[in-house]
Structure 1
Amino acid sequence: MKTLPEKILGIIQELPEGEVLIPGRFLHLGARTAVQRGFSRLVEDGKLFRVARGLYVAAVETRFGVRPSAPEMVVQSLAKMRGELIVVTGARAANNLGLTTQVPVRYVFLTTGRSRNIQIGNIVVSIRHAPRWLMALGATGAGDAVRALAWIGEPSAMRAVARLHTVLPKSEWQALESAQESMPSWMTDAIRAQSNRS
């Protein structure tokens, strides 16, 4: 007969990588204290990582050994669980959009929720509250463009907007144009100038 930790692990192994787990989701297997002990045992055995108080993610087994889940996947799962928007920072968005070759080395995300840190194995992930205007277009190409422009700053805005006009799909560019009233004036000026040129 399987032990409680083995039963928990059996369920966890069927879930997608990075899914954030809470012990309360497993109460159908036993009493809360027993489930909590089962989670603790799985952490000790290297099968789970505790990312924050009461939050866990499964270790990923590969042919090279065990590794933590990808931070991006954990953050996506956390956003879904908490019902908040969590997106990449302007630096990462600028890199993804080809506006810079700099690759951020730290894992930092922006959120509509509260600021906090989580730890996935040895990786510290920073989740920082961002102003409403920076998050207004959500997790879209246009939203990434706004965050990238905010990171790049006013002096390079015209050049960055010209590049964005070529890489963003037409629908994302139109979304960017339609959200100008929520942006700083320098950003609006750069977008409007590009729209007038095209």
Structure 2
Amino acid sequence: MPLVASCQKITHISDRGMAMQRLTEQILAHADGLPEGRPVAAKSLLHLGNRAAVDQALSRLAERGQLLRAGRGVYLLPVTSRFGVRAPSVELAVEAIAAQRGEVIVSSGAAAANRLGLTTQVPARSVYLTSGRSRKMRLGDQLVELRHAPRWQLALAHRPVGEAIRALAWLGPDRAETALRTLKGKLAPAAFNELAAAAPQLPTWLARNVGKVAHG
């Protein structure tokens, strides 16, 4: 290869490396300005470079541990404090991903039942229900599972009655009536009335039990 052509090739490779370094620095600066748990999405970085370059930069940052790859196309900035480096809060990350992707994401029925005192069983895994597709995310050492759920289980998602519906769905037909009687004493009357009003959205077995306890 002629000397001039060789020098030009080396210069081109050097320029490309510098451009990639500049892009990774810009991505890190962008990520550093986000609230804890907010995903770093390739589509929000296209003003910095083309999609292939952005994807390559994100992948490199994940390999270096400067970003966490939580799932396909989902990257998160680790949190650095005086206690060291940790993954973002699961709750904050899930809330941010739900907002970014326009999904409904809520805690699982097992977690809801535990919080409402309907079971002493503590979920062994972090499971959330979503209106989107089922998938898994890794936040540091913790695996978070997102399971697609039917619409009725996501009804009134972030209200106490929504949590009660998810708990009842998890408990199932055999335990629903007993659980509903417990809930009638735990929930505010307005909340239980809201549950009764939601009966048309529920499957037959649950609507029947709700009506029986509400009007019995």
Instruction: State the TM-score bracket (shorter-chain normalisation).
Output: 0.7 to 0.9
Corresponding residue for residue 102 of structure 1: 121
Q: Residue 15 in 1 paired to residue 34 in 2?
A: yes
Q: What secondary structure, in the 3-state scheme, does the structure 2 residue paired with 1:108 have? A: strand
Mind listing any 5+ residue stretches in structure 1 that lack a counterpart? Answer: none
Tell me the amino acid that sits aligned with residue 157 of structure 1. Answer: A
The TM-score with structure 2 as length reference comes to 0.79
Partner residue, 2:187:
168
What letter matches 1:103 in structure 2?
V
**Map of 1:50 onto structure 2:** 69
Structure 2 CA distance for aligned equivalents of residues 9 and 30 of structure 1: 14
Structure 1 moving runs of 4+ over 6 Å: none
In the alignment, residue 82 of structure 1 is paired with which amino acid?
Answer: R
Q: Which has the larger radius of gyration?
A: 2
- 1:158 aligned residue: 177
User: Match for residue 74 of structure 1?
Assistant: 93
Does residue 93 of structure 2 align to residue 93 of structure 1? no
Query: Following superposition of structure 1 onto structure 2, how do residues 109-128 of structure 1 map, counting pairs within 5 Å?
Result: 109-128=128-147
Q: Of the two structures, which has the highest relative contact order with CA contacts closer than 8 Å and spacing of 6 or more?
A: 1
Q: How far does residue 185 in structure 1 lie from its aligned partner after superposition?
A: 3.4
2:80 match: secondary structure: strand
How many residues matched? 196
The worse-fitting range, judged by mean Cα deviation, of 143-152 and 179-188 is 179-188
TM-score calculated relative to the size of structure 1: 0.86
Q: Render the CA deviation track for 1:34-53: whole Å, top value 9, x for unaligned.
A: 43343233323322111122
Q: Secondary structure of the residue that 2:68 maps to in structure 1?
A: strand
Counterpart residue number, 1:188: 207
In structure 1, C-alpha distance between the alignment counterparts of 2:52 and 2:207, rounded to whole Å: 55
- The two structures, once aligned, show a CA RMSD in angstroms of 2.2
